């Protein structure tokens, strides 16, 4: 169509073919398989440019990390200055202490933390701490969850419960999981009473951003907190997505419920690869005594410490939360209005910082997404196809429907996005006709 013709396409300058020859699937992370033909040349603030020179407003933010916008000057300057004096020492450096002090000050409720590299390994560390502290094995999780790609946590969620999410993953590695629907306090109570004295931990995204963008319903997290306390179970918030995004103190602050352990990543470090586990002293001290092992060559490298420290400074000095609420909120309203205007059954749910866009199935009423099952009632495949139309119109989003709004998104991005989304819906209708 004419709309597609305005975007340059030189076949990714041959990069896709070269990538496919040396990288399995042409990518370095399976999450990117659907985007294997897109090569970006640079990102700045809320926008990206591909190798053909096409510009995009970015709502994927690198799967979340670029919460301050791409290539934030203050964070990048702090990191490059710090690494010019060396990067890993096999002992401590002052910056890692400073970084963790600032991190704890931001979170507010936690006594101690450790820095690592990926959210996946921080999840592993949290589950190990919880099992060591309780002497129990079982873990309650929620349908639709994603806590990383390791054998013990990766799962596919079907109507009959979880199954391995990958070939090569021994099914018995998932044997300790009890999977229950999100936002269902009664089902949760049933799990606790069916397994008295057996549940080491409950782990969850306090807002499920890997299953749509499902906020907790009033009372759900509070009841969960009570049940964990009453049963001697460690409550773990996986704040890899929500941390420093829903509020400076993450989902715990936003929803007013305090876990025992929490995991952070993504927005923690301005786009640099850092994760953290934070929590109560009695739990974290198990690492300190050596009773529980947690290691990593690159943990709290100079790069990581500088990135966390300067990101905390930026978030404290210029809190972006009001701006994200305003621009993300206006975007949600604008997208809904475009759906109505075009007579397209668009379904948008979530919060301004992280929301989910999809289509309702033909004839279905407006859907309140409360858990994995209601999410599956939407036409997710139609949105996945539409996400490629959006890319051709200069809006970069994930096929799975999540949209992240960054601190760098402003009035210009809002206007460009609504105008492009409008044309994308029209082009989609024309293609389908």
User: Least Å distance between CB 272 and ligand PMP?
Assistant: 12
Buried b (16+ CB within 10 A) or exposed e, 23-46: eeebeeeeeeebbeebebeebebb
The window from 70-78, 94-102, 116-124, 285-293 that contacts ligand PMP (CB under 6 A) reads 116-124
Phi-psi region of 207 (alpha: psi -120 to 50; beta: other; left: phi over 0): beta
Other CB atoms within 10 Å distance of the CB of residue 106: 23
Binding of ligand PMP by 114 (CB under 6 A): no
Nearer to ligand PMP by Cβ, of 146 and 421: the residue is: 146
- Residue 146 beta carbon to ligand PMP: minimum distance, rounded to whole angstroms: 5
Instruction: Check: CB of residue 219 under 8 Å from CB of residue 185.
Output: yes
- In the complex, least distance from residue 121 CB atom to ligand PMP, rounded to whole angstroms: 7
Please give the order of strands across the beta sheet that includes 55-58. 40-44, 47-50, 55-58, 395-396
Contact between 120 and ligand PMP by CB under 6 A: the answer reads yes
Counting residues that bind ligand PMP (by CB under 6 A) gives: 15
Q: Which one of 13-21, 220-228, 236-244, 301-309 is the stretch in contact with ligand PMP (CB under 6 A)?
A: 236-244
Please report whether residue 402 would count as binding ligand PMP according to CB under 6 A.
Answer: no
Which listed residue (260, 266, 383, 428) is catalytic?
Answer: 266
Q: Does 238 bind ligand PMP (CB under 6 A)?
A: yes
In angstroms, give the least distance from the CB of 122 to ligand PMP: 8
User: Catalytic residue at 102?
Assistant: no
Instruction: Identify the residue among 56, 67, 142, 146 touching ligand PMP (CB under 6 A).
Output: 146
Task: Name the strand (E) or helix (H) holding 160.
Answer: none
> Given the complex with ligand PMP, which of 144 and 394 has the nearer CB atom?
144
Please, which residue, 120 or 258, has the CB nearer to ligand PMP?
120
End-to-end CA distance of the chain: 13
Distance (Å, rounded) from C-alpha 291 to C-alpha 428? 58
C-alpha to C-alpha distance for 171 and 163, rounded to whole angstroms: 7
Looking at 289-433, list the stretches that DSSP marks H as alpha helix, in order from N- to C-terminal side: 302-317, 321-342, 372-376, 380-392, 411-432
- The yes or no reply on residue 389 touching ligand PMP (CB under 6 A) is no
The residue count of the chain comes to 433
Q: Fill in the per-residue mask, 249 to 278: x = in contact with ligand PMP (CB under 6 A), - = not in contact.
A: ----------------x---------x---
Site membership for ligand PMP, residue 118 (CB under 6 A): yes
Q: Which residues pair with 359 in a beta bridge?
A: 346
Binding mask 198-227 for ligand PMP (x = CB under 6 A): -------x----x-----------------
Residue nearest ligand PMP, Cβ-based: 119
CB atoms within 10 A of CB 143: 23
Give the H/E segment covering residue 248: none
202: left (phi over 0), alpha (psi -120 to 50) or beta: beta
Question: Cβ 431 to ligand PMP, closest distance in Å?
Answer: 31
Taking CA atoms, 118 is separated from 24, 112, 246, 278, 281, in Å, by 21, 18, 20, 14, 22
Catalytic residue numbers, as ranges: 146, 238, 266
Q: Which residues sit at the interface with ligand PMP, rule CB under 6 A?
A: 63, 118-120, 123, 146-148, 205, 210, 238, 240-241, 265, 275
């Amino acid at each position: 169509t004419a709309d597609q013709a305005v975007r340059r396409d030189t076949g990714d300058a041959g990069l896709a073919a070269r990538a496919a020859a040396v990288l399995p699937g042409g990518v370095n992370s399976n999450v990117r398989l659907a985007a294997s033909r897109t090569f970006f040349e640079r990102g700045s603030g809320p926008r990206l440019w591909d190798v053909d020179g096409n510009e995009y407003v970015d709502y994927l933010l690198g799967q979340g990390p670029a919460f301050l916008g791409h290539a934030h000057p203050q964070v990048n300057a702090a990191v490059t200055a710090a690494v010019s004096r060396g990067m890993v020492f096999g002992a401590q450096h002052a910056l890692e202490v400073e970084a963790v002090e600032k991190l704890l000050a931001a979170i507010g409720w936690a006594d101690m933390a450790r820095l690592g590299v990926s959210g996946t390994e921080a999840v592993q560390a949290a589950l190990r701490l919880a099992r060591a502290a309780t002497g129990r094995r079982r873990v309650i999780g929620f349908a639709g969850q994603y806590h990383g790609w390791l054998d013990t946590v990766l799962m596919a969620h079907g109507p009959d419960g979880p199954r391995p999410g990958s070939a090569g993953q021994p099914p018995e590695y998932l044997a300790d999981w009890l999977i229950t629907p999100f936002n269902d306090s009664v089902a949760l109570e049933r799990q606790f009473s069916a397994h008295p004295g057996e549940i080491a931990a409950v782990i969850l995204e306090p807002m499920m951003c890997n299953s749509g963008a499902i906020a907790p319903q009033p009372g759900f997290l509070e009841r969960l907190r009570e049940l964990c306390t009453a049963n001697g179970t460690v409550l773990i918030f996986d704040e890899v997505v929500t941390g420093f995004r829903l509020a400076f103190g993450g989902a715990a602050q936003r929803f007013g419920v305090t876990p025992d352990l929490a995991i952070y990543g993504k927005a923690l470090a301005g786009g640099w690869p850092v994760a953290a586990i934070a929590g109560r002293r009695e739990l974290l001290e198990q690492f300190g005594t050596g009773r529980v092992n947690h290691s990593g060559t690159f943990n709290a490298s100079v790069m990581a410490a500088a990135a966390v420290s300067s990101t905390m400074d930026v978030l404290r000095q210029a809190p972006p939360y009001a701006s994200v609420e305003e621009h993300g909120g206006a975007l949600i309203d604008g997208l809904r209005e475009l759906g109505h205007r075009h007579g397209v059954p668009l379904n948008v749910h979530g919060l301004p910082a992280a929301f989910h866009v999809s289509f309702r199935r033909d004839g279905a009423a407006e859907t309140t997404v409360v858990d994995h099952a209601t999410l599956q009632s939407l036409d997710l495949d139609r949105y996945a196809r539409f996400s490629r139309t959006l890319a051709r119109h200069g809006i970069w989003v994930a096929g799975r429907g999540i949209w992240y709004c960054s601190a760098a998104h402003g009035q210009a991005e809002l206007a460009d996005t609504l105008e492009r989304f409008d044309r994308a819906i029209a082009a989609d209708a024309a293609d389908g006709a």
